[in-house]
Amino acid sequence: MLTVITHSPEETWELARKLAPILTKGDFISLSGDLGAGKTVFAKGLAVGLGIDAPVTSPTFTIIKEYEGKLPLFHFDVYRLASAEELEELGADEYFYGEGVSVVEWGDRVEEILPKERLSIRILRLVDEDLRRIEVTPHGERWNKQVDKWLDGEERVDS
């Protein structure tokens, strides 16, 4: 696990924007953290990095929103689902292994059905209202290499 500290929502957004250029179709990102930690801020930065002009909002009530950019972005929020099976019934696999990038907010709640190759990001609020501890866990050989590219130059904290 690698850890980065951001000092504002703008820094969290920018960190996500910098991830977008290394993404390819079929990439999967799982976001976790408390309510208000910055999962949707992260998704917004990622969307801008993918060339998406549409406003990105949390899909809490719709479960999934699709956006067109350099790559399609499939943005899930599974907070309201009772089980991973509900997500499977919605045809999540078609998105997860499809032609775009999938981002799942509250991914830790449905971890058993997530792709084995993925990037898990946990966002934690620290004492200062704007500080965030962003814990990055790559799953799979490709993500181990990609995370180093993404976080090159970022100030890291010992995990």
The two three-digit tokens of residue 108, written as one number: 């830790």
* Cβ atoms within 10 Å, residue 153: 7
Model-level pTM? 0.93
- How far apart are the C-alpha atoms of 28 and 5, rounded to whole Å? 22
* 9 in Cβ contact with 103 (< 8 Å): no
Per-residue pLDDT tens for 39-86? 999 999 999 999 999 999 887 778 899 999 999 999 999 999 989 999
Instruction: Give the CA angle between residues 88, 116, 93 to the nearest 5°.
Output: 25
**What pairs with residue 94 in β-bridges?**
none
When pLDDT is cut at 50, 70 and 90, the band that residue 159 belongs to is low
Domains of the chain: 2-147 (3.40.50.300)
- How far apart are the C-alpha atoms of 88 and 112, rounded to whole Å? 11
